[in-house]
Structure 1
Amino acid sequence: MPQLSRSDWYDLARDTNWNFRYVSEEEVFPEELSGTGRVPAEAWLKWDEPYKITYREYVHNQVTKDTTTYSLKNAVGRSKLFDQLDPGWKSVIVAHYGAIAMPEYLASIGEARMGRFGRSAAWRNTATFGVLDEVRHGQIQTFLAYGLLDKEPRGDWALKAFHTNNWIILAVRYLFDDMFVANDALSIALQLTFTLETGFTNLQFLGMAADAIDVGDLEFGSLISSIQTDEARHAQQGEPTIKVLIDNGQKEYGQFLIDHMFWRSWRIFALLTGLSMDYYTPLESRRMSFKEFIEDWVVKQFADQFRDNGLDFPWYWDEFIKELTWYHHAIHLGVWYYRPTVWWNPDAGVSEAERLWLEEKYPGWNRVFGRHWDVITENVRKGDIAATLPETLPITCNLCQLPIVRAAGVLVGAHTDATPPTHVHNGREYVFCSEPCKWIFTQRPDRFAGHQSLIDRVLSGEISPPDLGAVLQYFGLSPEEQGRDADDYAWARNGTKG
């Protein structure tokens, strides 16, 4: 029986726009949920996705990927491959599942909002596939984490983490609530698919998959690869959306949305990926430094996107570039110091060989950060582990919710102002880790002023008494779940990793 080629019927089947007789356009696409009212309705008809796929093709592709990934999981589960992985890499996996598995599922809410309130039928069609993608990503990651429970019980944080108020989760949750849970369809397209997925996570998953194969983690490598191919497809929603905005005189608004979320994405990306690449991945498996990765992939990627779409670099671009030399190193030092407060075992990553590598990749690292690790190393060698543990809580940013850190010295171009920026709103002073975080807050203070930081929760009495024991209990961390040094301090005692 003769069949039509896809190109003969695809547009007709996809473009299900019609004129409403019983309700108004405003009722069908309320601005609070759609966000598309800045552009005339007819202009959205030009929205066109570059990657076209039918449901039949979609199901075939997804079944193939799932069959491969789940089959490999079953084979690996009967082996000792996980037991043989480097302790630092195990921490990458556990941290990833806790911070990312549930947000992947929550991203289906954002895709569904575009699938219902996107102003173009082509857009809604693409987002519907995105919903299926994100549900799959949440399911497959929680299922693979569940398969680790007999070897790593903290794999259950893939489900548990977002039901706690752990300080890492507060930062991640506030970011993703802002990005796709409490957002309109237009903003989601620009902030989730254009900024986060196209600019950051799609590239991160490429790198993580390659690193996983290098360290011998075939299961995680297969998982991440199967997710990345989905991301590459549904991340395409951002570019046609920004094109429609710019073509209709709304460049400034689109630029604002992207500038806002680029900085917020960078903050979380530096925390989760910066530590993994420069400290947790075994030295022999590091293909490049985190800074080199950002410069080669993210910076160049966004440079091309900004140029091709007629956008400008964010106003804080120079500050972002400078932070590549120091920000994630400072965050890493803080996470390791506060290791009992996280659900994975932070890898110090400062053996003699690793310090040589860090100095090579970040000239001045030993002078700025190495001297702090010198003190820690001395305390470990003396057996004074208590001196390497926290007694107080860090001051956190009222926007990104991460600890306020500064470069404790001078790296190339590093920002060394010790005074964090502040802003008074409705009689209350808010404190921030950076000028971009302050700018995001002041542009929409009512959107962020109600967020309760870790310190707010202490001052209100929600965490009481204000000591580490109460904090760990509040975070939902049992003694067995609290993070420890990944190598049991072998790097300090004999200068090498365990």
Structure 2
Amino acid sequence: MAAMNAKQKYHAMTRDLMWDPKDFDMKKVYPMLEKEGIILKDPSRWEDPFRMAYNQYVKVQAEKDLLYHAVRRSFEANDGHAKVIDSRWYEGVKAFAVAVQPAEYAAHRLMAYVGRNIPIEAIRFATFNQAIDELRHAQIEIKHYAHMSREIDGLHAYAQTNENLWFNTVPKSFFDDALSSGPFEALMAISFSFEYVFTNILFLPFASSAGAVGDENFVAVGKSVQSDESRHMALGMSAMKMLLEEDDRNVPIIQKWLDKWYWRAYRIFSVISTLVDYYPRIRPISWKKAFEIYVEDQVFDGLFKDLRKYGIRLPLHAEDSIKEKEHYSHAVMRILDHYKHANAFRGFRLQPDDYEWLANEYPDTFDHYYAPFFRRMDDHVLAVASPGLPAVCSVCQVPAEFPDPNNPTKMWTQYSEYNNKTYMTCSPGCKHIFEQEPHKYMQFWWPAEAYLSGEFGENIPGDLFPYFGFTPEEANEHYSSREHVRWLEHRKHLGLDRIIVNS
């Protein structure tokens, strides 16, 4: 038999793995297939763009794991934690931990759901690989946080904190929304909107910040994860083009999903804007510039121009996100400072170089709208703390405290009526999503409501922190915390006296 080329080998090792049920109706085996209105004529022609067989996949991933763990062990053995230029960086890593790692685990479940319910061999094989990717990401991140928990506050009961902390309702709401959608919508939600549009802005700027401040452990995490994301992005792009080319009747369905999931993904990444602009003491790039490069240039001006031939336009609220880039990170940091007494990661007083950098990067907004807020903490770190838990958006579950980018002195909060009840959303984008499926979002779990109803315990606020999995001493402000004192003592013990932090 003649030798097979690479394409033929891939086809032989990944196709003909499906089975055609003879005794069962296909509609019963795949009950979700026709629920969304998607038309499939000849899906067998679609191929995984990476054409990677399982044995190749395992070899590549094993090599990446070996490299990551070598870096991690070296970092831990050489007191890398003490050598970052400012310990407040780790407050940002805690926020990343609580927001992103649970999302990675949820994404692996979502990929398994998609693969189970779409009878297309190439999609099933690609989602199988991606499900393993996401589980691997969750595991290496947990390994990273396990080491951190020996050095820093806030993560000693990580599983409990991830399950119960109000902050984590944001990623939970995104993935629960996707998992309760049909399989094709779920594929667009994660593989296209989450992965293709936003994964670069998730890992690249924050990993660059990690390198700038000296956290080589997190750099290794970012590189190991991001190297998988190229495949995930290709899956999202290929799957969307396949659906658009199958039948013109798919176009309005895909457009509706893009309108929804662009804004949902944009809001779930709100905390990343703050992690890029605020928590690193050295910032290689601002959120605004990263958004312009990775979203405006690559996605809006690149990808969506190519999609015009299918009849696809920009997502409905894309222009709102462009306007909001001048305010996004500052508004989110302001929210986090309002509620730093109820989070596993702390806020912090801005230092003189912070004010200078933020004013230079955001000359039209920071000094005028946001610097006065942060300066209130210069003499009293809890001067801007809110007395309770936030009122959150009914869709994204981010606190509804975003300024209107067209009129920054006013809140962007929106209201909708459904079944004689008023529901609040954080923006026109979330209001539109709510009003498309109000029956879905009226069921959301609201931490503030649960707090008031006694779900966290009868002794409030005494029972609140045991429920969250950390103590009041692990919250509040970083530079006045015990953690910062320990970090300074650790550096002194190592003879690392040259630091830039104000102590």
Q: Is the 8 A contact 2:351 2:502 kept in 1?
A: yes
Residue type of the alignment partner of 1:291 = K
Secondary structure at the aligned position of 1:329 is classed as helix
Counterpart residue type for residue 309 of structure 1: L
Q: Cα offset for 1:394?
A: 2.8
Q: Which residue of 2 aligns with 1:355?
A: 355
Q: How does 1:276-425 map to 2 (within 5 A)?
A: 276-282=275-281, 285-303=282-300, 304-310=302-308, 311-348=312-349, 350-363=350-363, 364-377=365-378, 379-380=379-380, 385=381, 387-407=383-403, 413-418=406-411, 420-425=413-418
Q: Aligned letter for 1:129?
A: N
Distance 2:207 2:101 in 1: 16
Deviations 1:343-374 (A, max 9, x none): 112234x3222212111111231111111223
Does the CA contact (< 8 Å) of 1:171 and 1:401 recur in 2? yes
Change (3 A) 1:276 1:157: farther
| Distance in 1 between residues matched to 2:478 and 2:435, nearest whole Å | 39
The one of 198, 213, 216 aligned to 2:214: 216
Closer, same or farther: CA 467–373 of 1 in aligned 2, 3 Å: farther
Deviation for aligned residue 1:334: 2.1
What is the aligned partner in structure 2 of residue 125 from structure 1?
125
Structure 1 position 477 matched with structure 2 position 470: yes
| C-alpha distance in structure 1 between counterparts of 2:226 and 2:19, whole Å | 34
C-alpha root-mean-square deviation of aligned residues, in Å?
2.6
Query: How many residues in Structure 1 have an aligned counterpart in Structure 2?
Result: 478
Q: Distance in 1 between matches of 2:341 and 2:139?
A: 28
**In the aligned structure 2, how far is the partner of 1:160 from the partner of 1:463?**
13
Instruction: Describe the superposition over 1:176-234 as per-residue Cα deviations: whole angstroms up to 9, x where unpaired.
Output: 2113x333321121110111111112342122222222221111111111111112113
* 3-state SS, counterpart of residue 87 of structure 1: coil
Shift of the alpha carbon at 1:458? 3.9
Q: Given that residues 99 and 161 in structure 1 are in contact (C-alpha distance below 8 angstroms), is that contact kept between their aligned partners in structure 2?
A: no
How far is the alpha carbon of 1:417 from its aligned partner?
4.0
Distance 1:220 1:386, change over 3 A: closer
- Partner Cα separation in structure 2 for residue 120 and residue 97 of structure 1: 34
Q: Which amino acid aligns with 1:298?
A: V
- For residue 397 of structure 1, report the CA deviation from its aligned partner: 1.3
Question: Does the 8 Å CA contact 1:316/1:436 hold for their aligned counterparts?
Answer: yes
Amino acid at match of 1:130: Q
Percent identity over the alignment is 24
Residues 295 and 464 of structure 1: is their aligned pair in 2 closer, same or farther, counting only changes over 3 Å? same
Shift of 1:414: 4.6
Do the aligned partners of 1:145 and 1:156 also contact (CA within 8 Å) in 2? no
What residue identity is the alignment partner of 2:316? W
* Paired residues of 2:170 and 2:397 also in contact (CA < 8 A): yes
The code of the aligned residue for 1:451 comes to F
Q: CA deviation at 1:474?
A: 4.5
| 1:127-172 Cα shifts (integer Å, max 9, x gaps) | 11112111111111112211223212533454333321x2211122
Q: Where do residues 432-471 of structure 1 align in structure 2 (5 Å cutoff)?
A: 432-463=425-456, 469=462, 471=464
Query: Counterpart of 2:169?
Result: 170
Q: Which consecutive unaligned segments of at least 5 residues does structure 1 have?
A: none
Question: Counterparts of 1:252 and 1:468 in 2: how far apart (Å)?
Answer: 49
1:318-355 Cα deviation digits (max 9, x unpaired): 2111111113212201212321211112234x322221
CA contact (8 A) 2:7 2:51 kept: no
Taking the TM superposition and a 5 Å limit, the aligned residue runs for 1:77-92 are: 77-85=76-84, 86-92=86-92
Gaps of 5+ in 2: 485-499
Q: Distance in 1 between matches of 2:362 and 2:382?
A: 30
The answer (yes or no) to whether the contact 2:273–2:328 under 8 Å persists in 1 is no
Q: CA deviation at 1:453?
A: 1.5
C-alpha deviation, 1:289, in angstroms: 0.9
What is the CA-CA distance between 1:448 and the residue it aligns to?
Answer: 1.3
Shift, 1:463, TM fit: 5.0
| Aligned residue identity for 1:92 | G
CA distance in 1, matches of 2:361, 2:153: 35
Q: Is the 2:390–2:399 contact (alpha carbons within 8 Å) kept by the matching residues of 1?
A: yes
* 1:77 partner amino acid: E
Query: Is 1:115 aligned to residue 96 of structure 2?
Result: no
Give the drift of 1:450: 0.9
Q: 1:321 to 1:48 in 2, by over 3 A?
A: same
Aligned to 1:74: 73
Tell me how far 1:313 sits from its aligned partner: 0.9
Cα distance between partner residues in 2 of 1:103 and 1:440 = 21
2:502, 2:46 → 1: CA distance?
53
Deviations 1:23-43 (A, max 9, x none): 222112112xx4676344433
* Cα 1:183–1:191 shift into 2, 3 Å: same
Q: 1:415 to 1:369 in 2, by over 3 A?
A: closer
For 2:425 and 2:62, locate their aligned partners in 1 and report how far apart those are by CA, in whole Å.
46
> Are the counterparts in 2 of residues 113 and 184 from structure 1 also a CA contact under 8 Å?
no
Indicate which of 415, 420, 431 corresponds to 1:427: 420
Give the Cα separation in 1 of the matches to 2:445 and 2:371: 34
Distance 1:4 1:322, change over 3 A: same
